[in-house]
Amino acid sequence: MKRLLASLLTALALTAQAQVPQPPEIAARNYVLVDLTTHKTLAEREADAPQDPASLTKLMTAYVVFGALHDKKLTLEQTLPVSKRAWDERKGDPSLMFIDTTMTPKVDELLRGLIIQSGNDAAVALAEGVGGSVENFVQLMNRQAQAWGLKNTEFRNVTGMSEPGHKSSARDMATVAAHIITDYPEHYAYYSQRDYTFNKIRQDNRNLLLRRDPTVDGMKTGFTEAAGYCLVASAQRDFPNGKRRLLSVVMGTSSKEARATESQKLLNWGYTAFDAVKVFDAGKAIATVPVWKGEAKEVKLGAADAVYVAVPHGDAAKLQSQVERTDPLVAPLNKGQRVGTLRVTTTAGAPVAEVPLIVQEAVPVAGLMGRAWDSIRLWIK
């Protein structure tokens, strides 16, 4: 009987494991695949291991510059000087935009040189223009990493050249890339440009997927001997229930071709193995609940945005939701105030997502008589 029970438990465990899609074999030292629509990690390997990030570093370099543009500390049309330090990046034949000390390129041109051409000289010129010095700018990069809680990231330079202590991880790089997409969508188009010509020198974007997959619209490549070939790639595809964006990070592949091939495998698998299911629309009431001591007797609760969850393909019918809220709800209530949680699970009880429930319309406090009456009702209750 014990053997039979053990066999049944083993079979059930194997069945449960089989229900979770397994990613393809990925020839990369580290990788992560994130569904940015549902905020779910679909696959990973050694995603938190600190590594040499190579030119993926320039994602954070660009993010800090985008922040300065947003704060109007500089403009896209503003020109910046090219220091000898920026010009000296030519030593060792690294990636370059080919600026020199006689030039005063615009911020827009430098950003294209940084993002499309992966120019180390552009990175230094922008860092000096925003931070006053490269060292000050690196502090801004690390401060931002700390604000996001990136525990496996420490920047020592703005270019990604190998240096002791300069490190990041696949998951941390995915976080930086995701913030660029969500925080500064007006600048994300830089990452989709296939080539850029500056000073009569044309260079192709090193992200090969921009020419192979029309749904890939960014983001950044990197290579050093220590890092191997790295690629952050983002794709957005149309589905009947809306657009869906996936983001892959591969680090430590063997070649330019390998990083593109492995990234494409991850993206294609993520789109086919998982469905993004819209559970609730933005602005729609998820629950209507009683309010005490308020001018209104009920209040509608909902989510700040549309609620999407990622589930294995074909498992949408297995979802169920449960509302957990503060009880009793006592006025005053402010619009946007969190008062509970929406939990989405499978019918077997496995957690899928947790979403804050917020008040959709403010409920002011009632008059003296209304408050007194509800106080009596609450005491009886």
Catalytic residues: 55, 58, 118
Helices and strands in the chain, H and E counts: 10, 14
Distance in angstroms (rounded) separating the CA atoms of residues 78 and 95 = 24
Q: Which two tokens stand for residue 223?
A: 């290579």
What is the Cα gyration radius of the chain? 25
Distance in angstroms (rounded) separating the CA atoms of residues 123 and 127 = 6
> Tokens 């700018």 — which residue?
137
Q: What are phi and psi of 169, to 5 degrees?
A: -135, 165
Distance in angstroms (rounded) separating the CA atoms of residues 150 and 154 = 9
Element (H, E) at 40: strand 40-45
Q: Which two tokens stand for residue 340?
A: 């509970």
Distance in angstroms (rounded) separating the CA atoms of residues 14 and 379 = 53
Q: How many angstroms from the chain centroid is the CA of residue 9? A: 38
CB 154 within 8 A of CB 167: yes
